[in-house]
């Protein structure tokens, strides 16, 4: 078993996860398959046809139903599927029904999964419920780690790829404790974020952001991380951006049984739809009224099939976004579809420094940036620009390397900026020499030096012509820092501005600062 990372964007990656039954390309989704409930289910043949070369099933249920017969058959024959099969130990049942009703022997369930030939398997962890007290959450962390150590020798001898769940739930200090301890257990080739199902069902996505980001900071980067219960495409781009490599869920069939129709931006009751907003084979063939008139089993199967097509499409869209370096744009698009996703993206901004360290500087395939609003300001490429370029400029002014500065507004309709007519006029009418450091000030980027304005991404982006005031204010804060250091070092500045820069309080403060300085000359554009 091995995991090879092929491409990266933000903390997300496209990888090749090799198992004994085949290779999975990540990010990947594992549809949950119950081999003993077939009347309304989507067949495994259909699941593979849709594009899923991996599934997950429940070893605890198989052991209860078939016992040693399952060992003789092997899990692939039990399920009727020759692709990669992941098995869960029954923790979901434990989470839903409690330890009073569900009893799982942690040693026997590991032995059973190994003997039935699971490709990927999960130890018998103790899930942390979202309503657990701190003491209960701590107990689930400690017991899961104790069990992981107890079966470590068995894991080391197994040909199965074993998953160690990270517990702690909404208590991020416990998640950190769990992940830090788990990262030292080299017997495990894969990790998982445990117990998010009930949080996801409540659409409390910001809590999952904290759980995933905290765990990822401690887990080794060269091993894949799975998210249990991540079954709705609305949250998948955000989770991949934080470093989740795979998901599993029965959402596609559970939603279908309730008449719920999945889209990338939310879920609808099919009885409330007049049209099906999708082009999958199901939606291209039927109208909502036709599906509603079908027998229940057929209706559920068709909606579930559609739901799988939508999930498969979103996984492909995420991969292409990673290849093009625009995963941040995709999560911004998704954030506009639901208030809770927007709230989760605002939570992601807390971790943007960590994401920037993982985000690749050089990409094999890239596309121009689309910049929208305040969240775009925190995009890692822009954060990296401000950390490296602007800090260098400030240090050079402070050290006296730069003694003469020209600050010029960029025309974002003209790229590179130095081709703009207003800039050529400034060069012609103003006393600017080779000794001047010419700095364009640009919303989102703040400051772009003249000598790099042709390089990526400064000539390869699109942004609003009239950004929201907070973007202008942050740019002006940077301008003010430059002016303050220039004044302190007695460097001479020509500050060229247009009338619209006076539209915000921060911009007016910049102009007021210029007016009282002996070293700053303000030049207003006609």
Containing H/E element for 85? Answer: strand 84-88
Residue 234 near residue 15, CB atoms below 8 Å: no
d(CA 101, CA 167): 21
Phi/psi of residue 170, nearest 5 degrees: -80, -5
> Is the link from the previous residue into 210 a cis peptide, with omega within 30 of 0?
no
Instruction: Find the helix packing angle between 339-348 and 205-218, rounded to 10°.
Output: 30
Q: Is 261 exposed, middle or buried (0-12, 13-18, 19+ CB in 10 A)?
A: buried
d(CA 348, CA 241): 9
Look at strands 22-26 and 12-19 and give their pairing. Answer: antiparallel
| Chain CA centroid to CA 149, Å | 30
| 429 in active site | no
d(CA 260, CA 268): 6
Residue linked to tokens 């995009």: 379
Among 417, 421, 424, residue whose Cα is nearest residue 441: 417
Residue linked to tokens 């004044």: 487
If phi > 0 it is left, if psi is from -120 to 50 it is alpha, else beta; for residue 157 that is: alpha
Containing H/E element for 5? Answer: strand 2-9
Residue 37 near residue 79, CB atoms below 8 Å: no
Considering 7, 9, 68, 88, which one is annotated as catalytic? 88
Give the sign of the dihedral formed by CA 357, CA 362, CA 367, CA 369: positive
Residue 131 near residue 95, CB atoms below 8 Å: no
Rounded-to-5 percentages of helix, strand, coil across the chain? 50, 20, 35
d(CA 370, CA 359): 17
Secondary structure, 3-state, 439-467? EEEECCCEEEEHHHCCCCCCCCEECCCCC
Residue linked to tokens 């990266």: 8
Residue 324 near residue 366, CB atoms below 8 Å: yes
Residues sharing a CB contact under 8 Å with residue 110, sequence separation 6 or more, in sequence order = 89, 121, 123, 124, 151, 154, 155
Residue 256 near residue 26, CB atoms below 8 Å: no
d(CA 79, CA 76): 5
d(CA 327, CA 240): 9
* Paired strand residues for 439: 407, 449
The residues assigned a catalytic role are 88
């Amino acid at each position: 078993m091995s995991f090879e990372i092929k491409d990266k964007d933000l903390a997300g990656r496209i990888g090749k996860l090799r198992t004994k039954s085949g290779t999975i390309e990540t990010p990947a989704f594992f549809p949950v398959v119950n081999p003993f409930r077939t009347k309304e289910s989507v067949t495994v043949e259909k699941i593979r046809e849709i594009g899923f070369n991996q599934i997950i099933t429940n070893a605890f249920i198989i052991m209860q139903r078939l016992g040693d017969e399952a060992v003789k058959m092997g899990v692939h024959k039990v399920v009727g599927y020759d692709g990669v099969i992941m098995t869960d130990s029954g923790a979901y049942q434990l989470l839903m029904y409690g330890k009073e009703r569900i009893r799982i022997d942690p040693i026997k369930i590991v032995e059973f999964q190994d003997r039935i030939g699971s490709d990927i398997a999960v130890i018998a962890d103790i899930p942390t419920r979202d309503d657990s007290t701190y003491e209960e959450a701590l107990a689930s962390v400690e017991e899961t780690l104790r069990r992981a150590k107890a079966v470590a020798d068995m894991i080391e001898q197994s040909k199965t790829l074993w998953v160690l769940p990270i517990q702690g739930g909404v208590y991020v200090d416990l998640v950190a404790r769990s992940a830090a301890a788990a990262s030292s257990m080299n017997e495990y080739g894969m990790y998982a974020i445990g117990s998010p199902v009930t949080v996801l069902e409540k659409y409390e996505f910001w809590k999952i952001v904290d759980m995933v980001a905290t765990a990822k900071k401690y887990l080794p980067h060269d091993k894949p991380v799975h998210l249990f219960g991540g079954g709705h495409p609305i949250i998948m781009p955000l989770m991949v951006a934080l470093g989740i490599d795979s998901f599993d869920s029965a959402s596609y069939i559970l939603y279908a049984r309730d008449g719920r129709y999945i889209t990338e931006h939310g879920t609808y009751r099919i009885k409330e739809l007049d049209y099906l907003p999708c082009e999958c084979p199901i939606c291209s063939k039927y109208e909502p009224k036709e599906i509603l008139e079908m027998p229940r089993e057929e209706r559920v199967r068709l909606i579930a099939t559609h739901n799988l097509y939508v999930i498969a499409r979103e996984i492909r869209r995420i991969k292409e976004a990673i290849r093009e370096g625009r995963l941040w744009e995709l999560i911004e698009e998704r954030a506009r579809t639901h208030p809770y996703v927007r709230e989760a993206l605002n939570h992601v901004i807390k971790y943007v420094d960590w994401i920037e360290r993982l985000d690749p500087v050089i990409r094999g395939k890239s596309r121009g940036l689309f910049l929208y609003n305040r969240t775009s300001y925190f995009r890692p490429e822009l954060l990296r620009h401000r950390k490296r370029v602007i800090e260098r400029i400030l240090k050079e002014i402070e050290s006296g390397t730069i003694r003469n500065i020209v600050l010029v507004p960029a025309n974002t309709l003209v790229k590179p900026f130095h081709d703009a007519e207003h800039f050529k006029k400034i060069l012609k009418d103003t006393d600017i020499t080779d000794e001047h450091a010419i700095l364009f000030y640009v919303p989102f980027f703040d400051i772009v030096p003249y000598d790099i304005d042709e390089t990526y991404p400064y000539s390869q982006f699109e942004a609003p012509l009239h950004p929201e005031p907070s973007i202008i204010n942050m740019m002006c804060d940077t301008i003010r820092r430059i002016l303050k250091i220039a004044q302190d070092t007695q460097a001479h500045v020509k500050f060229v501005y247009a009338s619209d820069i006076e539209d915000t309080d921060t911009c007016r403060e910049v102009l007021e600062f210029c007016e009282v300085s002996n070293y700053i000359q303000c030049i207003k554009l006609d």
